[in-house]
Structure 1
């Protein structure tokens, strides 16, 4: 199968997985149901993803890919760390409050097995957080921020950026964010971080 064809089929399978996830939750979503909705074979799904947890881990990985790629690219340059955070903030906020992340978080909250939550942690937070720590450590090395522990600095930054917005999106009390909202909130979070740790 050509790379372009496979990529297109994966997108169709993943769209079907999100639809079933929203309709039936994680426990009620099966590989067979996803295959049927995507008009794909069970064999294809198991060959590409391994199992249901593997498929949903792939969804989380793909959802976080843009943010992860941005951080990896920026860290390969000598760019100012606060400028990197300025670029990262709106993308990260848009990701965390976006429809796909909210669907995954709603399903994870209802998944008594904890499988989906584990996949979210491993392919999402655990993949991005080490890169965020490197950006913060660069800011400290350049004298832009001052802190004792980079993990605590990251928690503060994420609290300033996201706060309780993700849980409020999950329970449906706030609408999806606009690009302008993400930009403004990101700049405010960065300004507060600089004031607190500058």
Structure 2
């Protein structure tokens, strides 16, 4: 199978898995059901992903890919780090509050083994946070930011940007945010983040 054909088929399989997650939840979404929904063979799914958690791990990585790539491009470009962070923040927030992330987090909560939760952490926050830290380290090095440590600053940034929004999305008390909400949230978070860092510098 050609590489582009496999990528296209994997995208179809992932879309089928998301549809079933939405309709049946994690426990009701089997590899066989996904294969039927995607019009693929069960053998293909097991050969490509190993098992259901293997498939969902791939979905976690795919969902966070755009954010990771945007951060990586910003780091490699070497332009103003805080401006880059502000430009990437809407991508990050939209991903974390989007339906795919919500469905994956609900699935992780239903996975008694904890394996999917660990995969979400590894493919999501643990993969993105070091890139945010790298941007903040660049900001410290060029003198545009002065904090105790880039890792602490990254934690502050995530808290200000995301807060409890993702939890509220997962438990169903917050609808998927509109683009204007994302823009406003990023603006307020960046303003608060810069203010907090300035205060830290003066302590």
TM range (shorter): over 0.9
Pairwise CA RMSD of aligned residues? 1.3
Q: Distance in 2 between matches of 1:111 and 1:51?
A: 13
Alignment deviations for residues 17-69 of structure 1 (CA, whole Å, 9 cap, x no partner)? 11222233333322222112111112211222122221111101110010000
Specify the alignment match of 2:162 in structure 1. Answer: 162
Bigger RCO of structures 1 and 2 (CA < 8 A, at least 6 apart): 1
Alignment partner of 1:25 is 2:25: yes
Q: Distance in 2 between matches of 1:83 and 1:39?
A: 44
- Alpha-carbon offset, residue 175 of structure 1: 1.3
Alignment deviations for residues 141-186 of structure 1 (CA, whole Å, 9 cap, x no partner)? 1222222122221111011001111111111111111112111111
Alignment partner of 1:140 is 2:123: no
- Of 23-32 and 63-72, more deviation after overlay is shown by 23-32
TM normalised by structure 2 equals 0.92
Residue segments in structure 1 that go unaligned for 5+ positions in a row = none
Is contact 1:144-1:194 (8 Å) kept?
no
Residue segments in structure 2 that go unaligned for 5+ positions in a row = 199-203
Q: Distance in 2 between matches of 1:55 and 1:4?
A: 18
- Of 162-171 and 1-10, more deviation after overlay is shown by 1-10
SS at match of 1:175: coil
TM normalised by structure 1 equals 0.94
Count matched residues: 198
SS at match of 1:59: helix
Specify the alignment match of 2:36 in structure 1. Answer: 36
Q: Distance in 2 between matches of 1:44 and 1:107?
A: 22
